[in-house]
Amino acid sequence: MTAAVVFDLDGVLIASEEVWDSVRERFVRERGARYDAEVQRAMMGMSAPEWSRYLHETAGVPDEPAAINAEIVRRMLAAYAEELPLLPGAAEAVRRLAAAFPLALASSSNRELIDLALELLGVSSLFRATVSSEEVARGKPAPDVYLEAARRLGVEPTRSAAIEDSRNGILSAAQAGMRVLAIPNRHFPPGEDELAEADVVLGSLDELTVEAVETG
Domain limits, the chain: 4-15+85-215, 17-82
Strands 200-201, 127-132: pairing is unpaired
What distance in Å separates the CA atoms of residue 35 and residue 61, rounded to the nearest whole number?
10
17-82 has which fold?
DNA polymerase; domain 1 (1.10.150)
Does the N-terminal peptide bond of residue 141 adopt cis geometry, omega within 30 degrees of 0? yes
**Per-residue pLDDT tens listing for the chain (216 residues):** 899 999 999 999 999 988 999 999 999 999 999 999 999 888 987 889 999 999 999 999 999 999 999 999 999 999 999 999 999 999 999 999 999 999 999 999 999 999 999 999 999 999 999 999 999 999 999 999 999 999 999 999 999 999 999 999 999 999 999 999 999 988 878 889 989 999 999 999 999 999 999 985
Q: Is there a contact between 115 and 152 (Cβ–Cβ < 8 Å)?
A: no
| CATH of segment(s) 4-15+85-215 | 3.40.50.1000
The reply to whether 17-82 shares the fold of 4-15+85-215 is: no
- Strand, helix or coil at 153? helix
